[in-house]
Amino acid sequence: MKIGADIVHISRFQNIDDFSLKKIFHPSELENKDPLHLAGVFAAKECCRKIFPNSNWLDFEIKKQRNGKPAIHTKNDFKGDLSISHDNEYAIAVVIVE
Amino acid sequence: MNIVDLISFRGGIAFLERKGYRTYPTTYKELKQRMLKTETYLIKNKVKKGDRVLIQATNCVDYVVLMLACLRLGVVVVPLDFHTSKQLRKKIIKETEPKLVFTNLDSLEKLTKDLKQNKSVPAISKDDVAEIIYTSGTTGVPKGVVLTHGNICSNVESLKKGFRLKLRHISVLPLSHMMEQCSGLFLPLSNNSLILYPNSLRYSDIIDLIKYKKINVMTAVPGILEGLKKAVELREKPLHKLLGWQFMVVGVGGASLPKELEDWWRKRVLLLQGYGLTETSPLITTNLPFKKRKYSTGKPLKNVKIRIKDDEIQVKGPNVMREYYKKPEKTKEVFEDGWFKTGDLGEIKKGFLYLRGRTKDIIVTRAGLNVYPQDVEDELNRYVKESCVIEKNNNIHAVLSMEKGDPKKIIEEVNKRLEQYQKIASWNVWGGEFPKTPTGKIKRYEVKKKVKHTLFKHKSPLDTLLASSLKTHIKKNVPLTSLGMDSLKRMEILALIEEKYGVELNEKVLGEKTTPKELENWIKKRKNVSYYDFGLPKLNLIGKTLASLITHIFCRIDGNKTAFQGIIVANHTSALDVHVLTSCIKTKYAVAAIPHLFGMVIKNTYYKIISFLIKHFFNAYPFGYGVGFESSLRFTAHLLDEGFSIIIFPEGERTRDGKIQSFKEGIGLLAVNMDAEILPVKTEGLFRVLPYYRRFPRFGKVRVKIGKPFRLGKISYFKAAKLIEKKVKSL
């Protein structure tokens, strides 16, 4: 079992340019450009990258399930769990992979 | 007299609008129809002559449609800059009481689509109000400049005398800016010219758009010209190689143009400097192609008179505004015996105006917006002893004189209260007292001079770029991670390098231990990998005939013939794939191929020959990481805009065993971003005719199975790749 955690300042996504965003997020993740949402997704992706050091940002897609809980989608089958939380200025995410 | 009457609505394409990577045209005919339908929409919403309509949006065709419809009906347009805060918008709404407020124009086309075209318009005289344009003022409360149809017409008509050519313009300033409206919208429309609206002001985008869309003219403020000059210099290529020879006229105004910058541009293009204010709708003087002087802002427009009184430039003429909206006191202040006082200093020599500095210390941002240092200083002075706000690298820089407190927190706090365009980008603390005039005013110029010499002074442009991003001093051999680079900053730095140098680097280049010096070497290495020398693929008839002949001699092709334009995705079995596909699919095509086939990464004779062959026999162009994904996407979009179909083999290489291999993710990236139809195609039998390991073909039967074209929504790139792979395999 492997674990990854990440914390990020939400304000860093306020004035970020589109070009950087496109390199990190899939179009589906950019449908909502609210800094709060982006920060959460970014933290989740950073967790995944900590677990899989040779991976790229675009190897993971963070998507909400029907019940509102975010989940990780990858090219191949992925067995793991993700949790994202926000408070005031920060977003935090934790990922566990079996 | 209505401004819209200046437009004849004849002549082909009026606008090119960039959305995502693609560019979409709107003809003059469509523009007129949409304008007439929007008029009906306005009438239905009980908007009539004299009412106000507020528009806050980025430049787009919908903006122009709405604005023209309003103007034709005599409705007063109140254009607001896109970044205006909600609070300020509220204030302006309270003052102007608009009937309709548009902050999002996405649905305008849908709303007006099924409406009838309006047929009757009220009579408009030259004294009817056309627009109320808000300019920032030192008091923090902006003033609404009231401009009539006559004001704006006089300006456009005099400009038209100097420029009558039908040209292609690029719009880089906001439409809420009078300079953009006059020389970037009404003038080109009255000449039946074409206007391109980009969706980003990144220099790499602008450079490619100017070249690809064959743009001739740009109207800009000095800030943009400075940035573009730097971008051209860092690419180490001549301007005309980057932008094309057709790019020849640059109009500049809005702020004083440094002599050095003027000289640089004058050597390369026809640079025409003008001078004016929003209050003078906007031009007062301008240089014309055959009437120009170095370092001058030109001669007054027709019927415009200027005089110098106590060094100050004063104006009288049909272009001068009527008043500041609901501010008679302010209006009185700026008029003297019927002359409008500009507040700028200048002198006239042989009829040409030369600016000599400004009485107001305005900072003009890259977007052409005016920032009054006083406004920002007032906010800062609540927290610090004294402050001085200056311009640095086209950004707002604050110099603080303070005894206690955390400057970083103060800046954050103050930025929350400032308008978007006023926000402080960088700051430093001043030791001791500011240099002052005998009357106690801070000597801004001296502060500016000293700050420029001490702050982040780096010799190499890369170090300056890194310093501005990481907000620290850069040392050549210290790893960037030690200087504060984290994973998000890494992406931002890569984005900056792409914009400034036109070089795309892999994220892995910026590793844990990468130093600025190593990064510089990477940039040098990758500099020559680009599309600059790569024109549109042209079908070489001899090459094509020869290749088709070989294909038809050896293959008995069985497949339905179809016509298609979009992205053709097929499995890659043989070198004859392209010609087999194009014998069934009727289209003008280009083949996306891996970049190192073009000798872009490794340059030697072998690759030169291969490159020549695949370029001419297969009509191929490089696509993928080797040349940079961003520029690959831009070039592909350009090909699709030009009516080409893109043929791509997402397996990356020919099959070795006849089976279809898994598709690379690049196809997902291409398919999702191009907004084009995708045609899945599968070929069978070619592996027998000419497999990977054979040099000469055998005779054989080939089947081409063509699927149904489809489009992709906003899905992840790997899902898109999988979906396309499934579609091809299932044929």
Residue A69 in this model has a pLDDT that exceeds 80:
yes
Give the C-alpha separation, B450 to A80, whole Å.
Answer: 56
Alpha helices by DSSP H, listed for B220-296, are 222-235, 239-243, 259-266
Task: Give the gap in angstroms from C-alpha A29 to the nearest C-alpha of chain B.
Answer: 8
Q: Whole-model pTM?
A: 0.89
Task: Give the gap in angstroms from C-alpha A19 to the nearest C-alpha of chain B.
Answer: 6
- The average pLDDT across B394-404 equals 83
Question: Is B531 inside a domain boundary?
Answer: no
How many pairs of residues across A and B have Cβ atoms under 8 Å apart?
Answer: 60
Question: Is B314 inside a domain boundary?
Answer: yes
Q: pLDDT for B625-636, tens place per residue?
A: 888 889 899 999
Q: Considering B421, B449, B477, which residue would you say is the last residue of a domain?
A: B449
The helix (H) or strand (E) run that includes residue B131 is strand B129-135
Q: Considering B357, B390, B424, which residue would you say is the last residue of a domain?
A: B357
Mean of pLDDT over chain B: 88
Task: Provide the pLDDT confidence category of residue B171 given band limits of 50, 70 and 90.
Answer: very high
Tokens at residue B364, please? 């003009």
A77 close to B (CB below 8 A):
no
Residue B526 in this model has a pLDDT that exceeds 70:
yes
Higher pLDDT, B343 or B441: B343
B337, B189: one domain: yes
Q: Considering B357, B381, B413, which residue would you say is the last residue of a domain?
A: B357
Nearest CA in chain A to B421: A15
B617, B489: one domain: no
3-state helix vs strand vs coil in chain B, percent to 5: 40, 25, 40
Q: CB burial class (10 A; 0-12, 13-18, 19+) of residue B435?
A: middle
Task: Give the gap in angstroms from C-alpha A1 to the nearest C-alpha of chain B.
Answer: 24
> Which of B201, B422, B491, B501 has the highest number of chain A CBs within 10 A, making it the mutation to test binding with A?
B491
B589, B644: one domain: yes
Task: Provide the pLDDT confidence category of residue B355 given band limits of 50, 70 and 90.
Answer: confident
Cβ contacts (< 8 Å) between B202 and chain A: which residues?
Answer: 17, 19
Task: Provide the pLDDT confidence category of residue B456 given band limits of 50, 70 and 90.
Answer: low
Cβ contacts (< 8 Å) between B492 and chain A: which residues?
Answer: 16-17, 20
Higher pLDDT, B95 or B421: B95
Which is it for strands A70-74 and B129-135: parallel, antiparallel or unpaired? Answer: unpaired
Question: Is B364 inside a domain boundary?
Answer: no
Q: What's the pLDDT score for residue B453? A: 59
Task: Give the gap in angstroms from C-alpha A26 to the nearest C-alpha of chain B.
Answer: 5
- HSE, CB side, 13 Å, CA atoms: give it for residue B57: 22
Nearest CA in chain A to B723: A75
In terms of Cα–Cα distance, which of B369, B385, B365 is closest to B377? Answer: B385
Question: Is B180 inside a domain boundary?
Answer: yes
Higher pLDDT, B325 or A79: B325
Higher pLDDT, A43 or B289: A43
Strand, helix or coil at B363? strand
Q: pLDDT for B674-707, tens place per residue?
A: 999 999 999 998 888 888 888 888 888 888 999 9
Question: Is B282 inside a domain boundary?
Answer: yes
B329, B403: one domain: no
Question: Is B536 inside a domain boundary?
Answer: no
Ordered by where they begin, the domains of chain A are 2-97 (3.90.470.20)
Give the C-alpha separation, B270 to A62, whole Å.
Answer: 50
B182, B275: one domain: yes
Higher pLDDT, B301 or B465: B301
Of A16, A28, A42, the CB nearest to B714: A28
Q: What's the pLDDT score for residue B708? A: 94
Residue B439 in this model has a pLDDT that exceeds 70:
no
Q: pLDDT for B258-270, tens place per residue?
A: 888 999 999 999 9
The helix (H) or strand (E) run that includes residue B682 is strand B678-684
Strand, helix or coil at B727? helix
Name, in order, each residue with C-beta under 8 angstroms of B646's C-beta and a sequence gap of 6 or more. Answer: B566, B567, B568, B589, B590, B591, B592, B636, B639, B640, B670, B674, B676
> Which of A23, A29, A45, A51 has the highest number of chain B CBs within 10 A, making it the mutation to test binding with B?
A23
- The average pLDDT across B431-444 equals 75
- HSE, CB side, 13 Å, CA atoms: give it for residue B580: 31
Residue B653 in this model has a pLDDT that exceeds 90:
no
In terms of Cα–Cα distance, which of A76, A78, A73, A80 is closest to A96? Answer: A80
- Evaluate whether B143 touches B279 at the Cβ level (below 8 Å): no
Nearest CA in chain B to A14: B420
Residue B139 in this model has a pLDDT that exceeds 60:
no
> Which of A21, A26, A50, A52 has the highest number of chain B CBs within 10 A, making it the mutation to test binding with B?
A26
Query: Domain holding B513: CATH number?
Result: 1.10.1200.10
Q: What's the pLDDT score for residue B417? A: 83
Strand, helix or coil at B161? helix
Of B200, B717, B722, the CB nearest to A58: B717
Give the C-alpha separation, B706 to B393, whole Å.
Answer: 55
Task: Give the gap in angstroms from C-alpha A61 to the nearest C-alpha of chain B.
Answer: 7
Name, in order, each residue with C-beta under 8 angstroms of A82's C-beta and a sequence gap of 6 or more. Answer: A44, A47, A62, A70, A71, A72, A93, A94, A95
B170, B254: one domain: yes
With an 8 Å Cβ cutoff, are B492 and A23 in contact?
A: no
Give the C-alpha separation, B525 to B184, whole Å.
Answer: 39
Q: What's the pLDDT score for residue B446? A: 79
Residue A15 in this model has a pLDDT that exceeds 90:
no
B525 dihedral zone (left: phi>0; alpha: psi -120 to 50; beta): alpha
Question: Is B366 inside a domain boundary?
Answer: no
Residue B600 in this model has a pLDDT that exceeds 70:
no
B444, B589: one domain: no
Name, in order, each residue with C-beta under 8 angstroms of B495's C-beta and a sequence gap of 6 or more. Answer: A17, A19, A20, A23
Q: pLDDT for B209-227, tens place per residue?
A: 999 999 999 999 988 998 9
With an 8 Å Cβ cutoff, are A17 and B202 in contact?
A: yes
Among B473-482, B525-534, B562-571, B590-599, the minimum mean pLDDT is found in: B525-534
B263, B310: one domain: yes
Nearest CA in chain B to A21: B491
Q: What's the pLDDT score for residue B22? A: 96
Higher pLDDT, B646 or B529: B646
With an 8 Å Cβ cutoff, are B200 and A12 in contact?
A: no
Tokens at residue B55, please? 């528009």
Task: Give the gap in angstroms from C-alpha B715 to the nearest C-alpha of chain A.
Answer: 5
B340, B198: one domain: yes
The helix (H) or strand (E) run that includes residue B637 is helix B629-641
Of B202, B507, B714, the CB nearest to A27: B714
Cβ contacts (< 8 Å) between B83 and chain A: which residues?
Answer: none
At residue B116, what are phi and psi to the nearest 5 degrees?
A: -80, 160
Residue B537 in this model has a pLDDT that exceeds 90:
no
- The average pLDDT across B563-586 equals 90
B210, B157: one domain: yes
Task: Give the gap in angstroms from C-alpha B606 to the nearest C-alpha of chain A.
Answer: 33
Residue B545 in this model has a pLDDT that exceeds 90:
no
For A69, other C-beta atoms within 10 Å of its C-beta total 11
Domain limits at B659?
541-729
Q: CB burial class (10 A; 0-12, 13-18, 19+) of residue A20?
A: buried
- The average pLDDT across B138-157 equals 86
The helix (H) or strand (E) run that includes residue A20 is helix A18-24
Query: Domain holding B292: CATH number?
Result: 3.40.50.12780
Mean of pLDDT over chain A: 92
Cβ contacts (< 8 Å) between A29 and chain B: which residues?
Answer: 716
Question: Is B679 inside a domain boundary?
Answer: yes
Q: What's the pLDDT score for residue B110? A: 94
Cβ contacts (< 8 Å) between B630 and chain A: which residues?
Answer: 19
Residue B457 in this model has a pLDDT that exceeds 60:
no
Give the C-alpha separation, B636 to B678, whole Å.
Answer: 14
Higher pLDDT, B511 or B359: B511
Nearest CA in chain A to B668: A26
Task: Provide the pLDDT confidence category of residue B454 given band limits of 50, 70 and 90.
Answer: low
Name, in order, each residue with C-beta under 8 angstroms of B630's C-beta and a sequence gap of 6 or more. Answer: A19, B204, B498, B504
For chain B, the C-alpha Rg in angstroms (whole number) is: 29
Count how many domains chain B has.
Answer: 4
Query: Domain holding B646: CATH number?
Result: 3.40.1130.10
Residue B138 in this model has a pLDDT that exceeds 60:
no
- Evaluate whether B520 touches B486 at the Cβ level (below 8 Å): no
B340, B377: one domain: no
User: Which A positions 53-72 lie with beta carbon below 8 A of chain B?
Assistant: 56-59, 61
Q: What's the pLDDT score for residue B679? A: 96
B384, B343: one domain: no
Residue B448 in this model has a pLDDT that exceeds 90:
no
Give the C-alpha separation, B231 to B299, whole Å.
Answer: 32
Query: Domain holding B423: CATH number?
Result: 3.30.300.30
